[in-house]
Structure 1
């Protein structure tokens, strides 16, 4: 069995996705609903998925909880609240008490969209992270390499809060690895940080066919740093469709891990996510 620890769903008629811009992203400007997800995973080993937020809109998370309540394979939801708001702690209550609130496992913010490299250690954000910790949720972050030192500081401030690093911390594939690899290794020194092997299909750019040999050195860094017990597979579907199909992403990840034992591969494709998201 396989857990897909990172995918999205959206309905353009309900909510626009303003990050979908330019002709190269046009394939994503349509609805992706639970039926489309079911079709994508059909015939694969994936039996459980984690639905992750896309919009900085407080209405999206309750809608995702309802989807998880009705979709067969969705086992957890990672939502969003405004961490900079004074009411961040109060925003969590209605989500946790929602009729489908049992599916909520964490919150995420697209820190990479913030111009401030130190966004993660703003006083208001740290205050909100304390509320996330108190609520028993985890926190996911997708950040640019230059923002990772601030993520590192935040992880140190809250050792009891699980931090999930999405998309391997956005490795600059084809560029200089050191500005990324050093903070990734430092993050891995914190036992409360886990990492997703996600976003790999588009890591070298949208529209480029994924190259295993080109990606392998970057994946090897997170493998060595985190180990299989703190790594988990994520398809990043449907964003991955800009470069590869769902099946191709599974195959790509499998090939990148072909040197691991059966036990180690089982951790990355299944066990780690089940433990982290309490599936």
Structure 2
């Protein structure tokens, strides 16, 4: 593809890898998610990402086990492309700090840059505000790691309050909190996104949007409101690009999402584009330059 304007040395801050025989992905429905009902390896990633101009990536957990995180750390240790791992840890565990130390002691442990827990699957919208969860998140921050927020729109309020109360933790919002694109609830998302962004210790990923559009085929116009509101709330210096590959394949190729986002950022200057394409991710996840 032709190199979009302002994009050089891209960092993909959000993708996955899985081999289901070792780490099952029970959330994948083989009927409705046939496009990703397969294994996705570092070789597959290398082909898709480098063709889009990506030079560094952050792989994010998709299986809620420490065993998967250990394997991803090993993948990163062997890769010139994957330079960071957002792994899994249970924030409700009494020994979160010890568990993180064990992950850091594993091969490639120095490439652990963050932790994610699937809050979106918790029925309690205030799960993040539980004392034990807050204690665990504080331990993640004390270990020098970011905490990725995998939340749905109705959980953004709790996320904003936790981020406000734990200013020492770097919070990264995945997929912009899954906005209700094209639906009436989008107004609530805008309100709660702004509340989260009011805390300076928060950043967000321009990722996962193509699978939130409630119609097919989607167009860039369907995504523009979410990107515009995110830019207004966070500013380019607190936003980062994420492909959400291979999940994005449910609605888009890797290359198409990169090109679409480039168009959606068309009104920005070169410095602002550079922040989103690489600088924010490197700063927040403490990645080295390629």
Q: Same fold per TM (> 0.5)? A: yes
Which structure 1 residue ranges, 5 or more long, are not aligned? none
Task: Identify the match of residue 74 of structure 1 among 52, 70, 82.
Answer: 82
Q: Distance in 2 between matches of 1:74 and 1:144?
A: 27
Instruction: Indicate the larger mover: 161-170 or 97-106.
Output: 97-106
The answer to whether the aligner puts 1:233 opposite 2:245 as a matched pair is: no
Instruction: Determine the structure 2 residue equivalent to 1:83.
Output: 91
Residue 24 of structure 1 aligns to a residue in which SS?
A: coil
Aligned residues: 278
Instruction: Determine the structure 2 residue equivalent to 1:10.
Output: 18
Task: Identify the match of residue 193 of structure 1 among 202, 226, 251.
Answer: 202
Residue 276 of structure 2 aligns to a residue in which SS?
A: helix
The answer to whether the aligner puts 1:179 opposite 2:185 as a matched pair is: no
Q: Distance in 2 between matches of 1:60 and 1:168?
A: 25
The answer to whether the aligner puts 1:118 opposite 2:126 as a matched pair is: yes
In the TM superposition, structure 1's runs of 4+ consecutive aligned residues that sit over 6 Å from their partners are none
Q: Is the 8 A contact 1:12 1:29 kept in 2?
A: no
Instruction: Determine the structure 1 residue equivalent to 2:136.
Output: 128
Q: Distance in 1 between matches of 2:19 and 2:223?
A: 32
Q: Is the 8 A contact 2:77 2:107 kept in 1?
A: no
Residue 178 of structure 1 aligns to a residue in which SS?
A: helix
- 5 Å-filtered alignment, 1:33-44, equals 33-44=41-52
Shift of 1:277: 1.3
Shift of 1:86: 2.0
Deviations 1:245-271 (A, max 9, x none): 110010111111111111111110111
- Alignment TM-score, normalising by the size of structure 1: 0.97
- Alignment TM-score, normalising by the size of structure 2: 0.93
Deviations 1:59-89 (A, max 9, x none): 1111000000012200100001111222222
Task: Identify the match of residue 153 of structure 1 among 143, 156, 161.
Answer: 161
Which structure 2 residue ranges, 5 or more long, are not aligned? 1-8
RMSD: 1.2
